[in-house]
Amino acid sequence: MADLNDTPRANRPHIAFFGKTNSGKSSTINRIVGSDLALVSDVPGTTTDPVYKSMELLPLGPVVFIDTAGLDDTSALGQARIAKTREVMDKTDVAVMIVRYGDSGTALEEKYKRICIA
């Protein structure tokens, strides 16, 4: 019988974290996986490319967690980063939208919620 670690990434449920820059996506995923997987800072746009982490999530089994770049990235490469995040959305089974505490403007999250559910 194959070891759980042998499960190819594509066969694992994809659990991805989305949201604005600086909302706490990387901090959240680090807490869940229990390591400093993703770089955390107070500079908006710290995460530039998707970060993948395969692990076992009991009782579900083998999964892959994905950290993504912020959906409101307005830097020079912002549109390219958002396009990468959209590619992740297309292969995501469980989308977790992270909203910073006290952020009352949720139009962007509402927009992507509809895209994720569609």
Ligand X SMILES: Nc1nc2c(ncn2[C@@H]2O[C@H](COP(=O)(O)OP(=O)(O)OP(=O)(O)O)[C@@H](O)[C@H]2O)c(=O)[nH]1
Q: What is the CA 36 to chain-centroid distance, rounded?
A: 15
**Total residues in contact with ligand X, by rule CB under 6 A:** 17
Interface with ligand X (CB under 6 A), residue from 12, 15, 21, 65:
21
In the complex with ligand X, the residue whose CB is nearer, 2 or 43, is: 43
The dihedral region occupied by 24, where left means phi > 0, alpha psi between -120 and 50, and beta the remainder, is: left
Out of ligand X, Mg ion, none, what residue 3 binds, judged by CB under 5 to 8 A for its kind, is none
Residues 10-29 that bind Mg ion (CB under 5 A): 26
DSSP 41: -
With binding defined as CB under 6 A, does residue 54 bind ligand X? no
Q: Strand, helix or coil at 77?
A: coil
